[in-house]
């Protein structure tokens, strides 16, 4: 088997993982009444506290206009609320409602459970090797100029 074939095969597996992960997360999110983008927004909000929509746009790497729609939806379903910014009357702060906080916790719990599903009981050596390889691949991607925020900065 040529090196080329080994590499392509590995990429195929990675891609398969991507598809599977995507499907599973989408389903899991749907059961909480969320979509991927809305969950992502909640996730950022949870890590960084109340934010303006502008900040959210930057954090998610999407247009400001798009955030309006996502927040609209999350407000409609009661996960977040819009508050006036205390000092800048142009801006609005997006904050969790109680329900939103609970959902964000569920989100994290689900993620932890999923990580458990993937890795629990795996020999420590294999786990470390996998994570190491993952890090190496990520580093190569970064070196190739694909650092998530290189374009968005």
Task: Give the residue, chosen from 1, 7, 79, 83, that forms a contact with its own copies under the rule CB under 8 A.
Answer: 7
Query: Is-contact 104 45, C-beta < 8 A?
Result: yes
Task: Give the residue, chosen from 1, 15, 105, 106, that forms a contact with its own copies under the rule CB under 8 A.
Answer: 15
Burial of 106 by CB count in 10 Å (0-12 exposed, 13-18 middle, 19+ buried)? middle
The reply to whether 144 sits near its own copies by the rule CB under 8 A is yes
Reduced to 3 DSSP states, what percent helix, strand and coil does the chain have, rounded to the nearest 5?
70, 10, 25
The reply to whether 22 sits near its own copies by the rule CB under 8 A is yes
The reply to whether 26 sits near its own copies by the rule CB under 8 A is no
Binding site for DNA (CB under 7 A): 35-38, 52-54, 57, 60-71, 73, 82, 85, 87-92
The C-alpha atoms of residue 60 and residue 96 are separated, in whole angstroms, by: 17
DSSP H or E stretch at residue 98? helix 98-119
The reply to whether 20 sits near its own copies by the rule CB under 8 A is yes
Binding residues with its own copies: total (CB under 8 A): 47
The reply to whether 146 sits near its own copies by the rule CB under 8 A is yes
> Which residue, among 101, 85, 102, has the nearest Cα to 93 in the 3D structure?
85
> Which CB, 4 or 65, lies closer to DNA?
65
> Which CB, 35 or 97, lies closer to DNA?
35
* Structure tokens that stand for 65 in this block: 């206009």
């Amino acid at each position: 088997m040529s090196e080329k074939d080994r590499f392509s095969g590995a990429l195929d597996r990675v891609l398969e993982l991507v598809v599977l992960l995507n499907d599973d997360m989408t389903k899991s999110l749907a059961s909480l009444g969320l979509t991927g983008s809305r969950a992502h927004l909640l996730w950022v909000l949870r890590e960084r506290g109340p934010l303006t929509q502008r900040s959210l746009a930057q954090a998610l790497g999407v247009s400001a206009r798009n955030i309006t729609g996502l927040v609209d939806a999350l407000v409609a379903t009661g996960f977040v609320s819009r508050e006036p910014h205390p000092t800048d009357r142009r801006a609005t702060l997006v904050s969790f409602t109680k329900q939103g906080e609970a959902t964000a916790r569920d989100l994290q719990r689900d993620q932890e459970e999923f990580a458990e599903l993937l890795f629990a009981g795996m020999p420590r050596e294999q786990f470390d090797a996998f994570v190491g390889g993952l890090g190496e691949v990520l580093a190569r991607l970064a070196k190739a100029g694909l650092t998530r925020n290189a374009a968005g900065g």
